Amino acid sequence: MRYNLAIENEEVRYSTQASQGSQELIESMSENLQGPTFAVTTLGCKVNQADSEAISDQMNAAGFAQRDFEESADIYIVNTCTVTHLGDRSSRQLIAQAHRRHPDALLVVTGCYAELNPKAVSALPGVNLVIGNTIKEGLVSTIREKILEQETGESQDITTASATESSSEPAARRSLPVLPLDTQHIGSDNALNFQVQEEEPQADNPALLTPFTDNVQTSELANHRMFSRTRVQMKVQDGCDNRCTYCIVPYVRGKSRSRSIEAVVENVQRKARAGYQEIVLTGIHLGDYHPDADEKLDLGDLIATLLRETEIPRIRVSSLEPEDFQLEWLEMWADPRMCRHLHLPMQSGSDAILRRMARRYNSDRYRIIVKTAKRLVPGMAISTDIITGFPGETDEDFELTYQLAQELEFAKSHVFRFSPRQGTPAARMRDQIKDVVKKARSQRLLDLHEEHSRQFREQFLGQEVPVLIEQFKHGKWEGLTDNYIRVEVNELPENAEGWQHTVVKARLNSLIGDGVHGTYAQ
């Protein structure tokens, strides 16, 4: 059956009572339906992955049966991105794939592309529901209502909303429902309304060995089920108050807001009991974490509380903006539970370009952070993002970027050629750089990255290190060290239950791809 639901932006607000009523409806219907199947696919950053994991959790709890996105399913959910036109295109491709695979399936589109341009998304062939970010927390209930509409033959208007269209109530004031304790929040707690995350632009040097990525969701990983008990992406902050001139994110995510420390601790405790070995603290502007809008409390307070009140074996911090980073936070990395990995976007080594980007730090500040982190935390992996070919970038500006990257020797550099995003100030700037120049500059940075990445991994060869096993691929078990070295572990003994979600000791022997070949040592 083909649905065609128009997406409008009207007032939508969910109270705690309404949420509980929806949950009761879901649970009641789960007893009567024979478990329709669903599949979720994701484009975007770690925050988006966290949202899709939460969607999967809630769909499973509601009685739906999960399938791989490449399999036939009754319901397809495409969690989209929109930072670049490439993100839009990839989103459309996944939507088309789902429609071709099962034309009669219920096709649900959510995420940033759905938020930014709901009319265009709703016009795509096969699309039945477009769920805006602002009400994404009601996605499962909306799907149930649509199924009821199909079964009863009654026409029901299901109104959704998006932050990018007009509304009589500001999006920042809409609240998430309070979900049962055994259900993962799609957003956060009732003080943090949900705005879906952005997709990062595609780097020129994606990961090779495994589908684990820092920012970019690969199509392979996007098509896998989200049943991992290894790590969980824990969204603690959403939205952004910055206005970097190349970024569309603030326009589709709304203002910065944070989850309470108590809610995060409670959720991490539950995940630890469920068998997760690692949490990744994520957010659109994670360094702007201030629970309950209390500027006196910050990310450092959250981490300290998690170390004190939870027993999760590993705590990893995702991307942090340099202007937010406080050097005193590094003292907490003395605890071995803190993963020795920081992702600090540099973007440019030229202060003039950083100003054109509206970044809120300079190259000296960035240099101090990286060097101090490496000095205080031995073995610390620093990864970064670099944009080359930004409008107005001269040869001298690029050389400053190259020299700073050469000096700081990043463990991983994501190199991006500037791509204008319609609707951003940078797309309208003069002095756009020719593609041939962007390509040449990008290649120099890629060559430097290869050298530094190899040197970083080589220093650990011969050592025995803990590896958190993630998956079995091509006949080998693969996992990550705490400082983000990807390890292919050989000679693991037979294990009836497998080795996934287990921390093992591995001796690092040689480099392979963008990772390391190791052998079981314990």
> SS3 sequence, 413-455?
EEEEECCCCCCCHHHHCCCCCCHHHHHHHHHHHHHHHHHHHHH
Q: Percentage of residues in the chain with pLDDT exceeding 70? A: 73
Q: How far apart are CA 70 and CA 223, in angstroms?
A: 6
Q: How far apart are CA 497 and CA 331, in angstroms?
A: 38
> What confidence category does residue 27 fall into, taking pLDDT thresholds of 50, 70 and 90?
very low
- Give tens-digit pLDDT for 417-452: 998 877 889 989 999 999 999 999 999 999 999 999
Please report, for residues 2, 49, 88, 149, 158, the alpha-carbon distance to residue 106 in angstroms, rounded to integers and kept in the order given.
Answer: 8, 21, 21, 12, 14
Model confidence pTM above 0.75? no
Strand order in 106-111's β-sheet? 65-66, 37-42, 75-80, 106-111, 127-131
Query: Cα torsion for 496, 501, 502, 505, to the nearest 10°?
Result: 120
* Helix (H), strand (E) at residue 381: strand 381-388
**Strand duo 314-317 + 278-283: pairing:** parallel
Domain that holds residue 116: 16-173
Closest CA to 393 of 335, 351, 422: 351
- Reported as half-sphere exposure (CB side, CA atoms, 13 A), residue 385 has a value of 21
- Angle at 380 (CA atoms; ends 324, 271), nearest 5 degrees: 75
Within a domain: 40: yes
Q: What does the block give as tokens for 138?
A: 């009601």
Alpha-helical runs (H) found in 377-409: 395-408
Within a domain: 94: yes
- Helices then strands, each counted (H, E), the chain: 14, 17
Q: Is the pLDDT of residue 130 over 60?
A: yes
Number of domains forming the structure of the chain: 2
> SS3 sequence, 217-272?
CCHHHHCCCCCCCCEEEEEEEECCCCCCCCCCHHHHHCCCEECCHHHHHHHHHHHH
Comparing 393 with 220, the larger pLDDT belongs to: 393
- Angle at 248 (CA atoms; ends 245, 250), nearest 5 degrees: 95
Place of tokens 């219920």: 106
- Give tens-digit pLDDT for 80-95: 876 655 667 788 888 8
Q: Is the pLDDT of residue 381 over 80?
A: yes
Within a domain: 257: no
Within a domain: 84: yes
- Give tens-digit pLDDT for 171-220: 332 222 222 323 333 332 333 332 333 333 445 655 443 323 333 333 33
DSSP string, 93-109: HHHHHHHHH-TTSEEEE
Q: Percentage of residues in the chain with pLDDT exceeding 90? A: 44
Average pLDDT over residues 470-498: 87
The predicted pLDDT at position 119 comes to 83
CATH number of residue 483's parent domain: 2.40.50.140
Q: Residue 355's CB: how many other CB atoms inside 10 A?
A: 13
Residue type, position 365, single letter = R
> End of a domain among 173, 205, 232?
173
Within a domain: 278: no
Within a domain: 71: yes
CATH number of residue 89's parent domain: 3.40.50.2300
> End of a domain among 154, 173, 192?
173
Within a domain: 245: no
299 SS3 class: helix
Burial of 339 by CB count in 10 Å (0-12 exposed, 13-18 middle, 19+ buried)? buried
> What confidence category does residue 15 fall into, taking pLDDT thresholds of 50, 70 and 90?
very low
**Mean pLDDT, the chain, as a whole number?**
78
Within a domain: 30: yes
The predicted pLDDT at position 397 comes to 98
Q: Tabulate helix, strand, coil % of the chain (nearest 5).
A: 35, 20, 45
Q: What does the block give as tokens for 320?
A: 């942090």
407 SS3 class: helix
> End of a domain among 173, 204, 227?
173
